Amino acid sequence: MPSRTDQSVAERRLYSKLRQLLTPPGLLRGNLVEMHRACGKTTCRCARDPTARHRALYLGLSLQGRRRMVYIPPAWEADVRRWVARHAQVRAVLEQIALRYLERVQRREG
């Protein structure tokens, strides 16, 4: 494994970006899914008008090979959106790092 000084400027920037993304707490794998549902109350407007359904946010993800939908309360929405976005950014940076090392392997560099 090459030392930090053997890395290119671009590689050092990628690792720096990765550290910045991993510093704040919160990474969450999955996709946010917005649904509009009837609440079940016969007196509610959503029972009469399909366009007046209640908004609900869920996190869709696969756990142990099974698809799961986890309800996200409205108070948690901002945090969960930030955690899901950060996870996507981390994956993108890791992909860039992996591609650089694949190039090294193909060029037979150490």
| Three-class DSSP category at 73 | coil
Complete DSSP assignment for 8-44: -HHHHHHHHHHHHHHSSS----SEEEEEEE----TTS
pTM of the predicted protein model? 0.79
The pLDDT tens digits of the residues spanning 32-88 come to 999 998 888 989 998 888 888 999 999 999 999 999 999 999 999 999 999 999 999
